[in-house]
Each structure stands twice: as C-alpha cells, then as structure tokens.
C-alpha cells in the first residue's frame, strides 16, 4: 500500500486528502506550516498532524499541495529521501522540486473548494514525472483516485491550465460581474442561477458551439450597442463585453459591432 504524506492545508489539500483517506492508499498524515489549519485538517481526515520542523515519517510519496509560490520553499526544506516528491500545480514544472531525485506532478483538473468533499472519480487526473520510478508510483496513485488519468509534459499542462482558467475562472468572474449588475438594481442575484445551471449543462452535454446563444451569436448588433450604452459608466466591463462580442461576431461571420 502506497504511503502518502500530505503537505498543505488549503482547498487542494482538503479535497485530495479526503479522496486519499477514503481510498486504498495509506494517508500517513498531514503536515503544514499553519499549526491551527494543520490540526483542523488532520482532525477532519482522522490522520496524524505532523510538524514539518521535526523528522518526517517514512513514506513513498510526499504530496506538496500548497500555493504555487510556496512549492519551491517547501520542497527545499524537506530532507531528501528515496520518496517521490510531487506537487499539485498544473502550470508548474518539475524543477521547483529540486533537489529531490524523484519528482512529479499530480494535478486534478477541477476547481476545488472547501465544503462538501468531492467525488474525484470522474475528474481527470494529470501526472508528470522526472523518471520511471516516479511515473509508475504516480500513475498508481492517480488511478486509485480517478478513472481518467493522463500523463502530460509541462508545455501541454500549461495549455490545459490556461484552458481551465478560461473555462472556469473567467466564466465565474463574468457571473460575478453579472450578479453585481443585478444588485445595483436591487434585484436578487439568484435570478441568474437557473440560466447559469442550464448553460453549463448544455455546454457539457452538447459542447460550447451548440450551447452558445445571445445577440453576438445571432449578429444582433443593435442589442449589443444598447448593452454597451448601459455599460458607459463601467469602462472596464464595457471593454470586456465589446471584445468578447466582437470575437463572437467575427467567428460567426457577422463582422464587428
């Protein structure tokens, strides 16, 4: 049974930790720099809370689930062993894990958050590795957590990460801005919830090409101009709306607004 030490206390550690703890893998414990957060996550996962300043237990995999900027610092502070040391950042390379010999990446393509633990079985699990030993171990771990496992080198992972940001983060930000517009009119943001859910479901089922509707898709430049007029006092959002509308108009042969 693969022994895993999880380092981190944030959203990635929370969700991955739960998935590992409820699999056939052996989650030895949780380590982290924030003592209070570490203790809380360890209690939630019913595992040991481990102090990074003290000798660490013998494991097969050290999974560094911290923010991108903290990976190199955490990895450099770890004593080098025969264990595989892997991070969970899709857009980061393997060099941030130097000086460890067996380096890797284990990255679930999913927007993770606190709250109810997620079922990761259908979430694509991406891996990368510096050598065959790390590759074999990470593939075994990934296959235990998910039914969809891919091995991607850094350049492809970065492209996938970019695509994931466009799909998730950018779309969520636009939803936030849309809700703000409703609040400014003293309207409940929940008015958009059915639309948001239906659009996401259609895009997932039929693809974005078939799910896309709206004035730019139809070539309705009069409505687009009216929307731009309504956004005169919000130049940043107006510019975003104009740029995206022009892209859609051109894509469907309507020219610019």
Q: What is the pTM of this model?
A: 0.89
Span 244-256, mean pLDDT?
91
Do 176 and 55 fall into the same domain? Answer: no
**Are 58 and 141 found together in one domain?**
yes
The per-residue pLDDT for 207 is: 95
Query: Tell me: the pLDDT tens digits for 113-165?
Result: 888 899 999 999 999 999 999 999 999 999 999 999 999 999 999 999 999 99
The residue among 59, 64, 61, 4 whose CA lies nearest residue 33 is: 64
**Beta strand pairing call for 103-108 and 125-129:** antiparallel
Residue 198: inside a domain, yes or no? yes
- Domains in the chain, number: 2
In a domain, 239, yes or no: yes
- In angstroms, rounded to a whole number, what is the distance separating the alpha carbons of residues 66 and 64? 6
Domain boundary among 152, 174, 192: 152
117 and 162 share a domain? no
CATH number at residue 167: 1.10.1040.20
My answer on whether 194 and 222 are in the same domain is yes
Triad 158, 102, 3: Cα angle to 5°: 105
Q: Is residue 257 assigned to a domain?
A: no
Tell me: do 71 and 174 sit in the same domain. no
Mind listing the pLDDT tens digit for each residue in 189-223?
A: 999 999 999 999 999 999 999 999 999 999 999 99
Q: Are residues 50 and 76 in the same domain?
A: yes
- Dist CA 241 CA 226 (whole Å): 12
CA atoms of 167 and 164, how far apart (whole Å): 5
* pLDDT reading at 257 higher than 70: no
DSSP 186: T
**Could you tell me the residue range of the domain that residue 169 belongs to?**
157-251
One domain for residues 25 and 123: yes
> Residue 113's pLDDT is what?
83
- Measured distance CA(58)–CA(62) in Å, rounded: 10
Q: Is residue 201 part of a domain?
A: yes
Assigned domain for 256 exists? no
Cα separation, 134 vs 129, whole angstroms:
6
Is the sign of the CA dihedral 207, 210, 215, 220 positive or negative?
positive
User: Within this chain, do residues 91 and 125 fall inside the same structural domain, yes or no?
Assistant: yes
């Amino acid at each position: 049974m693969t022994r895993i030490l999880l380092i981190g206390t944030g959203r990635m550690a929370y969700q991955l930790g739960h998935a590992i703890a409820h699999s056939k893998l052996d989650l030895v414990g949780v380590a982290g720099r924030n003592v209070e957060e570490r203790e809380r996550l360890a209690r939630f996962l019913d595992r040991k809370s481990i102090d990074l300043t003290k000798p660490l237990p013998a494991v097969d995999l050290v999974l560094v689930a911290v923010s991108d900027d903290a990976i190199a610092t955490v990895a450099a502070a770890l004593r080098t062993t025969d264990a595989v040391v892997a991070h969970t950042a899709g857009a980061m390379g393997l060099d941030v894990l130097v000086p460890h010999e067996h380096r890797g990446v284990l990255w679930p393509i999913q927007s993770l958050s606190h709250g109810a633990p997620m079922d990761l079985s259908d979430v694509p699990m991406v891996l990368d590795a510096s050598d065959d030993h790390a590759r074999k171990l990470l593939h075994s771990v990934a296959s235990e957590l998910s039914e969809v496992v891919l091995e991607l080198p850094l350049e492809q992972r970065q492209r996938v990460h970019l695509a994931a940001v466009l799909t998730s983060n950018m779309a969520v930000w636009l939803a936030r801005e849309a809700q703000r517009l409703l609040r400014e009119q003293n309207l409940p943001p929940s008015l958009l919830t059915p639309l948001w859910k239906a659009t996401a479901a259609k895009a997932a089922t039929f693809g974005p090409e078939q799910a896309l509707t709206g004035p730019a898709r139809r070539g309705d430049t009069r409505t687009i101009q009216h929307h731009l007029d309504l956004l005169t006092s919000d130049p940043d959002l107006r510019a975003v709306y104009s740029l995206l509308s022009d892209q859609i108009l051109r894509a469907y042969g309507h020219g610019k607004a």
